[in-house]
Amino acid sequence: MPYQTTDSKVRIRDRLATQMIVASLVVLFLAQVITAAMMNAAHKSYFQSSTQGWFIDRTVLLTQKLVATSPSNYDIMSDAASAPFAIFRINSHPYLTEDGSDKDDDALSKLLESRLGSQYSNQIRSLVASGDKLDEWKQACLANLSIEAQPCITSLKEGKKRIDMGTEIYLVAVSIPLPNKQWLNIFSMAPVAPIYLDHDTILFLSIFGVLQLIAILILVRRITRPLKSLAIASDKLGKGESVALLEESGPEDVRRTIRAFNRMNNSLVLYMKERTGMLASIAHDLRTPLTGLKIRTEMLPDSRTKTRLLSTIGEMQNIVETTVQFIRENQRVEQPRRVDINALLESLSEDFQEMGQNVVYSPAAAPIAIICQPVGMGRALRNLIENAVKYGHRARISLLQEEQHVVINIDDDGPGIDDNEIERVFEAFFRSEKSRSRETGGLGLGLAIVQNILHAHHGEISLHNRKEGGLNVKITLPYQCC
């Protein structure tokens, strides 16, 4: 099994938390944009309705008073009603030579007619032209305005300078018939509603967005944190490591998943205990009859049959003892502590060298301290070095420290292992075809024990046939977990 990298190696964009946060931020951004647009539309509607309401109210009031007063007061009243952004003039003819055809013009005429009465039906002419400069309005209005209206345009230009609105404005021109064949000509300049993004609005949207973002982060963490624990526990369980019961937290769907995992974990633990217990009982029960059988066989006269019987009995006793040892190794609990793996490998190499074995160790440049079970780790490394010396005649050991893990390589010069057997050699009681004899090949439990020990340290072991001959054993231990 290849070494699996930790979560930090996973691409950030592929994580559930990242995808949920990005999706939530997109929705939050769109919601804020829509909210700002709706607020701006409501503000614009209110702004325009209030501005138009003032103009209509003043126009209706002045028209009603002009109808009720003497023509000699027309000029005085129209001048009094005028302002820098609204000009009222009394003339003998309308400034608007024809009724506008735009829907805004028609709507304004109908609104004034409804306020002034049915006698003004189809009598009021209006024109609405918008733009950011009065010169542009002038060009837009030339088709409907008489030449006499141009001074009013000039007056409005001066009025715009005085009031300095600083925003886009529009022109409203209205001609209303009066008694005595007179016309009330009105020109008004009103600002178009600006974009409603003042400091208070921006502050409100920002605070609201931050609060929503905090709520999203808390929700995502509440969902993904138990899922991360579940993923780590599942990975450990898949490697054969013991896993404690997980706390049921998060939403109900996640808690239900964790609850199912805990039930499965309990079932597997119970099954393994029952199987291991049964195997230990069988191995223990076989000891006594095998010992008795061996004693009786030794009392027989020397013969070829006696020798074969003793060899078979010895082999069976070896199987029983090895099985008991395997069970004990799996049940062994050792307190982890900080160990210099560099010094441990150097010490093991010196032990083999003192026994006359061909073992060469290439140490790391500096000490590498890891948290491990020193006895178990030493037993695993010793077993691998013994195999290299036993089957490969020599062992060359090296230690490397990488960013996320430490790597131990053990090379030998032996015949290697058939490619179709490399994965199976870690199975209990499996022996390679090249080591059939139990005198040299053992019972096939050594690598199984080594793999269990390394898995308990969150590590991996892999075997590779070298091109130049021999076998390479690669051990990878996650440095950040040690």
Instruction: Quick: pLDDT tens for 454-469.
Output: 887 888 899 999 888 8
The segment with the largest mean pLDDT, out of 146-150, 171-175, 271-275, is: 171-175
Q: What is the pLDDT of residue 345?
A: 93
Rounded-to-integer distance, Cα 126 and Cα 112, Å: 10
Answer whether residue 227 shows pLDDT above 50: yes
In this structure, what token pair is assigned to residue 61?
């009031």
Rounded-to-integer distance, Cα 445 and Cα 433, Å: 15
| Residues linked to residue 362 through DSSP beta bridges, in sequence order | 398
Is residue 358 helix, strand or coil? coil
Is 186 in contact with 86 (CB distance < 8 Å)? yes
In this structure, what token pair is assigned to residue 18?
């990242």
CA 218 to chain centre: 13
Q: DSSP letters along 304-340, please?
A: HHHHHHHHHHHHHHHHHHHHHHHHHHHH-----EEEE
In this structure, what token pair is assigned to residue 467?
């091109």
As a whole number, mean pLDDT of residues 153-161 equals: 51
Residue/partner pairs of 43-46 with CB below 8 Å, 24 or more apart? 43/193, 43/196, 44/193, 44/196, 45/193
Answer whether residue 123 shows pLDDT above 70: yes
Answer whether residue 343 shows pLDDT above 70: yes
Pairing state of beta strands 182-191 and 471-478?
A: unpaired
| Strands of the sheet with 395-401, listed across from one edge | 359-362, 395-401, 405-411, 471-478, 460-465
In this structure, what token pair is assigned to residue 129?
């032209």
Q: What is the pLDDT of residue 397?
A: 94
| Residues linked to residue 145 through DSSP beta bridges, in sequence order | 96
Q: What is the pLDDT of residue 334?
A: 67
Rounded-to-integer distance, Cα 57 and Cα 418, Å: 100
Phi, psi of 301 (to 5 degrees): -65, 150
Instruction: Count the Cβ atoms, other than its own, within 10 Å of residue 176.
Output: 25
Is residue 423 helix, strand or coil? coil
Rounded-to-integer distance, Cα 380 and Cα 341, Å: 13
The segment with the largest mean pLDDT, out of 24-33, 58-67, 218-227, 313-322, is: 58-67
In the block, tokens 């995502």 appear at 220
Burial class (CB in 10 A: 0-12, 13-18, 19+), 377: buried
Residue 329 pLDDT class (50, 70, 90 cuts): low
Is 438 in contact with 370 (CB distance < 8 Å)? no
Question: 0.85 exceeded by the pTM?
Answer: no
The CA-CA-CA angle for residues 323, 324, 325, to 5°, reads: 90
Q: What is the pLDDT of residue 411?
A: 93
Phi, psi of 479 (to 5 degrees): -65, -40
CA 475 to chain centre: 32
Find the DSSP H helices in 69-130: 74-81, 103-116
Answer whether residue 193 shows pLDDT above 60: no
As a whole number, mean pLDDT of residues 162-185 equals: 72
In this structure, what token pair is assigned to residue 179?
């008694």
Is 261 in contact with 246 (CB distance < 8 Å)? yes
Rounded-to-integer distance, Cα 286 and Cα 292, Å: 10
Answer whether residue 372 shows pLDDT above 60: yes
Q: What is the pLDDT of residue 249?
A: 84
The mean pLDDT value of the chain amounts to 77
Rounded-to-integer distance, Cα 130 and Cα 139, Å: 11
Instruction: Count the Cβ atoms, other than its own, within 10 Å of residue 114.
Output: 12
Instruction: Count the Cβ atoms, other than its own, within 10 Å of residue 305.
Output: 11
Is 105 in contact with 128 (CB distance < 8 Å)? yes
Tell which phi-psi region holds residue 249, choosing left (phi > 0), alpha (psi between -120 and 50) or beta. beta
